[in-house]
Structure 1
């Protein structure tokens, strides 16, 4: 699965399935929302914004499911 910025995706949370939009791809280690993340070209992390809350989160590509609009 190849994600691109603007894709609609979903992911699991403790509250259930959440939907949102891909906003950014990270390929180097970074800090987001006071948490440290490891990312690389081979295993990028994606910043997504929740449709419901507008909150941002960082996820591995394997945790995201691309929605067919």
Structure 2
């Protein structure tokens, strides 16, 4: 089940469980923080704004869990 912009999701980080909202969906490779994140139509990368900080994370769909809004 693909995610879309605006979805509320959570993921595991070094700091534990984090949640945020998807702000962009990348379907092509994207350079982010000096690293190339590989993405495609079938396996996109999701750019997520953290709920608690202004941190932006980049994750594949398999790392995310959809939360109720």
The TM-score bracket by the shorter chain reads over 0.9
Superposition TM-score, scaled by structure 1 size? 0.93
List 4+ stretches of structure 1 deviating above 2 A.
Answer: none
Q: How many pairs align?
A: 69
- Report deviation, 1:52: 0.9
Counterpart residue number, 2:46: 46
Runs of 5+ consecutive residues of structure 2 not aligned to the other structure: none
Superposition TM-score, scaled by structure 2 size? 0.93
Q: How does 1:10-25 map to 2 (within 5 A)?
A: 10-25=10-25
Partner SS, residue 41 of structure 1: coil
